Amino acid sequence: MKRFDWSSLDEGGRRAALARPARRAEARVTEGVRAMLDDVRARGGTAVTEWALKLDGHAPRRIVLDVATVAEARAALPPADVRALRVAADNVRVFHQATRPGDGDWVETTPGVRSRIAWRPIRSAGIYVPGGTAPLFSSLLMQAIPAEVAGVPVRVAVTPPAKDGGIHPAMILAGAEAGLDEIWLVGGAQAIAALTFGASFDDGVIPTCDKLFGPGNAWVAEAKKQAAALPGGPAVDMPAGPSELMVVVDRDAAPEIAAADLLSQAEHDADAQVVLVSTSRATIDYVLTEVEAQLADLPRADVARASLAEARAILVRDLDAALEVINAYGPEHLALQVEYADELVDGITAAGAVFVGRHAAETLGDYAAGPSHVLPTDGGARTLGGITTASFMTSMSVQAVTAGGAAELAPVAARLARLEGLEAHARAADLRSEA
């Protein structure tokens, strides 16, 4: 883990201290994704199949979530696991139902001129669920359930196959809890290409989707970025690449908790980044010592060590300086393990999700608290939020005008139109005031 003293750094040094791993922007990723998108656009499902066989060793496959398949998956898991998954699904649904935006009240700006905001679900959502080395069924819940609550009629879920070409039973149950009819086993940039252009296979069709969602590795993140840049291409939720966590601690923090939280994200991916920020040099030492101790028996220690090579430990003068670091970095996840942590929240302007106090473990948010854990990475939190029900909806203004309202407002609009040199606009307004 690289160490920095924030107060001793100039502007360039501070940018370097907060830099994301260079591997996320390698030229080979950009060029490889471009080639894959071009190939799938030209050859459809045939190209997707070839890329899937080359990269994952298995052709795309559709898993229908019928009664028998779901029952078999449920029987394959301990009852306690099934109950835990259901509690998580229920919490996600409750939170998103409570925060679903509804049509606004009418606002009268001029007598007889009323407007309001109306919300509608998008037509189709492509939901990418990371997998492969670990079945991240929680990401399926965190996307498919908000989409269901929003009322999206077409939800297409894709996830990489397991090494044996199959699917973890928990992924099947998560899909069933979210009300999905099927899950496609295809991952990586080739899955994003399929969702972008549509793809036909022997056992079904992945349709073109209006908006793409979900976190993924550097290849998936780049594929979403390039897909969104295509003429007529899909919208995307946010930059949601390899995971990030910033943990802010003071001298009274529990080193074992801070270390556990850092490792919980480091074990995700070699490109994941964790950042420790502290007002105490001694606390940084204690936490880093604890990180090494906990690494010893961590099953994914190799992945975590690779991630820790790009980790940062930053010493700050005080909590005001810590806020400066937070808002400059814009972390995906932010854990505040300091005294009076709740008082810092008002000063935070850039974070995907904030976990206040030592009891608010980021892991709780990852699985079962309710809000979606699909959050912006790579500094996206400076301008974007994480997935909510509104992410799967569009808003439109609705305007209603009476004859009296038109007579009142049309002369104003006509004068402004002529001021801009748009005579046809002005005449359209004039006709309303004369009616």
* Residues labelled catalytic: 332-333
CA–CA distance, 84 with 211 (Å, rounded to integer): 30
Give the bridge partners for 4, in sequence order: 314
Residue 204, CA distances (Å) to 73, 78, 168, 399, 425 in order: 22, 32, 21, 43, 49
CB 313 within 8 A of CB 288: yes
Of 157, 164, 165, nearest in space to 136 by CA: 157
Tokens encoding 349 = 């302007």
27-43 vs 45-56: helix crossing angle, rounded to 10: 140
Query: Rounded to an integer, what distance in angstroms lies between the CA atom of residue 52 and that of residue 65?
Result: 22
Please answer whether residues 220 and 28 qualify as being in contact, where contact means their C-beta atoms are separated by less than 8 angstroms. Answer: no
Transcribe 414-429 into DSSP letters: HHHHHHTT-HHHHHHH
Long-range contacts of 331-334 (CB under 8 A, 24+ apart): 331/244, 331/245, 331/246, 331/275, 331/381, 332/243, 332/244, 332/245, 332/375, 332/376, 332/377, 332/381, 333/243, 333/244, 333/245, 333/246, 333/265, 333/362, 333/365, 333/375, 334/245, 334/246, 334/248
Which SS3 state, helix, strand or coil, does residue 60 take? coil
How far is Cα 402 from Cα 404, in angstroms, rounded to an integer?
5
